[in-house]
Structures are given as structure tokens and as C-alpha cells.
Amino acid sequence: MTESGTTQPIKKLESERAKLLAELAHLRREAIMEVDGDVAEGDPKWAERDIAQSLVDIHERKLQEIEQALEEARKGHYGICERCGRPIEPERLEILPETTFCIECKHALEHHRPN
């Protein structure tokens, strides 16, 4: 992918990274909030804390994907499939800028097919 072709997705990644970091800070506070000892297990406060922790886990995985894509960009490999080495389709990168796999390789990985 050309230098100019990577600028927009990388800016999008950096923006998404900043949003995720802010949201993670908020969710982590929610996830570690103290729930009174006399609160019943089915109380909504427990459910809210569990939901916050689940969202933390999801956001951390997404942040890891973004960090990996940004690292690939720093190395000059952004937009290249880490499995087959071919360029990732620009449309795919526009929709999912953190991806490091072309659509064919992602599909193969999801279906556990070797190269």
C-alpha cells in the first residue's frame, strides 16, 4: 500500500486508539467499583459491574489489535497480510483499519484451514 493510501486508515487507528483508552479508563473504574456486601447477587449493581468488566475485556482486545496494526505501520508493513504477504484490500482497511489479514486469510483462519 502506498504512503498516501495508508495515511487515512492510520489516522483512523490513532483516533480509535485514543477513544478506546478513554473508554477503558472509565470502564475500569466501573468494573472495580465496590458493591456493598449486603447486596444480593441478582442486584443490578452486580450486573452493571459484570457488564463493565466484559466491555473492558472486549475493548482491551480491540486496543491490542489497533496497537499491532500501528506497529506494522511503523515498520512499513501496514496493509500487508501477515499470513500470505499480499496487500490487504483498501476497502477492507477502510472498514476495519486494525486488520492484519486479507479477507481470504481471515476466512481461512476462522475455518482453521492451513495455507
Distances (CA, A) of 51 to 38, 44, 45, 58, 95: 20, 10, 10, 11, 26
pLDDT tens-digit readout, 10-21:
888 999 999 999
Beta bridge partners of 87: 80
At residue 2, the pLDDT reads 45
**pLDDT at residue 76 above 60?**
yes
How far is residue 49's CA from residue 60's CA, in Å, rounded to a whole number?
Answer: 16
At residue 1, the pLDDT reads 45
82-87: average pLDDT: 95
**pLDDT at residue 81 above 90?**
yes
Q: Which three cell numbers stand for residue 80?
A: 500487508
100-115: average pLDDT: 86
At residue 23, the pLDDT reads 93
Distances (CA, A) of 33 to 43, 46, 48, 51: 14, 10, 10, 12
61-90: average pLDDT: 93
Predicted TM-score of the model (pTM): 0.73
Domains observed in the chain: 3-110 (1.20.120.910)
How far is residue 103's CA from residue 39's CA, in Å, rounded to a whole number?
Answer: 48
66-79: average pLDDT: 91
